[in-house]
Structure 1
Amino acid sequence: MTTPDPVSTTSAITRANCEQRDANDPLRDFRDDFLLPEGTIYLDGNSLGPRTKGAAERAQDVIADEWGTGLIGSWNSASWWDLPAKLGEKIAGIVGGGAGSTVVTDTTSINLFKAASAALKMQAEDSPDRRVILTQRENFPSDIYMLEGLAEQLGDGYKVRLVDDEEVTAGFPTTMSDEVALVVLTHVNYRTGRLFDMGTTTSAIHAGGAMVIWDLCHSAGALPIDLTGSGADMAIGCTYKFLNGGPGSPAFIWVAEGLRNRFSQPLSGWWSHARPFEMDPDYQPADGIRRYLTGTQGILSMSVAGLGLDIHSRVDMNLVRAKSLALSDLFIDLVDERLADHPVEVVTPREHAHRGSQVSIRHPEGFAVMSALIERGIIGDYREPEVLRFGLTPLYIGFTEVWDTVEALRDILDNHLWDTDAHKVRGAVT
């Protein structure tokens, strides 16, 4: 379904025009669902989403009432036991997963380990000579580390090969072979914001005889996703970026219907047992979605994460995507127009079909420039090498904020305001 731009562009780019586009924005009321410090422009929701309205109260309810008064009885009375599957149903609606397809649990890295281990075991049963895992060189490093660790554990010829983004976009013309068992891909490149076509890429992988796991950390909640329609095998992702679950909120795992009961759980904890309260010493996996759990869940963070998912259940993702593209078009146009005299390069694809919901630009002093921008209350982040990232989250970011951000960048670059010792000092987290 093609949705028209809800706030169509005019030929002249002015701040007044941006203000008018904000006034006509059909998503503008969603801004009230988030709590941000006064005077802050927050462009880092692709790394950590802001606090949702009611998050503190929900946490207090869990602490004071469900835990404080209900005590252990809240596993039943407050439905703590059912939270992973209940939240999973909400995630499934966001990523096109279908009922009973998704569970919220653990971290993205742990879920990747579980999914990759299970996929490789399935392939070993069907195609035992396939022992190569492909993943992007530009994948988020934790994904690569987990796959390398898994291959080392398995031994016996298993290995990881890295491919460039261009190879993925082209459909793996040189790297797909009868050695490849599994391909693990990030849907949106965390550094550049490049978006990969899930349907055509999945088809190319399956045509080559391999399985695929998609990492949705930088796309879930930012753009429409159709896991079922794409034919994907498995997917993982987090809830603390575009889904606004809070710092360290739990991740999710999705598995296609035909694979769910073939899934062999490498971390076979008691929550995935068919009859966990019989305390049977022999492990018997549950049927369906509970098979993907491991151990006792973090109820406090999971409860708060539900608020962000509730917000997304009210959102038309086609409108979110249309505004996201309009915001990033504006950002790129302003960079081209107002920063042309500086060594700035837009590294995010300009084509809509290849763009996620961020704009990344490169500058030789990118870290110091971002530090100077943050000092002004405009918060993006920095990634090596030399990349300033700006997450464009349509539910609480408007066109005027994009204008003000690029104007601040122009001032900082024109006047070398980044060139101070203070702006070059790096903390433990950059």
Structure 2
Amino acid sequence: MKFIDRTKVTVKAGDGGNGKSAFRREKFVPKGGPSGGDGGKGADIVFVVDGNINTLLDFRYNRKFVGKNGGNGDIKNQFGRNAADLLIKVPAGTIIKDEDTDEVLADLTEEGETAVICRGGRGGRGNARFANSANRAPTFAELGEPGESKKLVLELKVLADVGLIGYPSVGKSSLIAAVSAARPDIAEYHFTTLAPILGVVSVGPEQSFVMADIPGLIEGAAEGVGLGHDFLRHIERTKILVHVIDASGIEGRDPVDDFYKINKELALYADKLTKSPQVIAANKIDLPEAAENLPRLEALAKKEGIPLFKISAATKAGVTDLIKHVYTMLINYTEQPKAEEKTKVYDAAKDNEDEIKISRDMTGDFVVSGKSLDKLVAMTNFANDEALRRFQYIWRLKQIDGKLKAKGIKEGDTVHIGAMEFEFRE
């Protein structure tokens, strides 16, 4: 199965159902009052973690998600049906970002965890809700509130206990193939592995851990060289890093330099990665060229205080000792304090609903915007005189005329609010 770890999707929550304008029509009730019911709520867009999914592959073919609308209100004060939330399943480790603002809306890491990303619109109120002592027979009802919509970027950071890091072609894929059932492509050219490979490593009865083969890093990866950022983000959530080094140096690189260059890239990308426990796996010791470099690597490990294991992923020499040591490190692992607070659920209520902004577009027209005002426009039936008068009343309450005059509006200038356009008149 192809591993997809970044994709873009568009989501649209359901619109609220329209309120109903109706009056009682019964044989013995000659002057029945208003009886129009409210519309139902539109579907929320909810992302939920599913443990049976480990890639974003499904989103490669389905990039648009639209929630169902709420039912319309009906006569006899019958309310419209609320639409069921649209659940979108994602793997653990998924980060959801707003494409326009790059804001992190949710960071989902646990089975069953949910995040409401777009709120469905509330149902419009029926005319029965507007009856009062001054107007006992209102003829208007609200339209349903439009559901929220967003363009999202989904990013997956693999959740593995152990991450294999190192330059391309040092033997990471061979190592994970030797210790687990994972079968990555293995070939004698750089970047054979272009996406993380996950494998379950069994140490003994009911003793196992998840290992990730992180594609090869290169110098400049922290600045995005090659596929640097795509690779590095997967390392962030691993508990222990196994630094695989080609002890033979047959690629023409110096093994000791490799160690420092890769760690420099980790530090440049995220300083917390330098605090992750590391183990050096000096690979390819079956090759004669390795004998010359092993003493230098041992001196490096002693200097840095990092355990070193001499292995050959091809012959499996030393691999068992490496795996047992890593498992012991995991048992004794202490979680690092979180440097940043994760956003778990997007809260639409944090927006200032009453804030009103007035700007001018490229043609010089005035544009009035604000969350509460946009909702009012969308939910007003301008073909109904009573609804129009109610809109004008709220317009005056919000003192929008004064705000427009302060911006220099003149008689006859064009004003836009949502989808509506009109000429300004005193």
User: Normalising TM by the smaller chain, what interval?
Assistant: under 0.3
- Which fold has the larger relative contact order, with Cα–Cα distance below 8 Å and residues 6 or more apart in sequence? 1
More strand by share: 2
Q: TM-score, normalised to structure 1's length?
A: 0.21
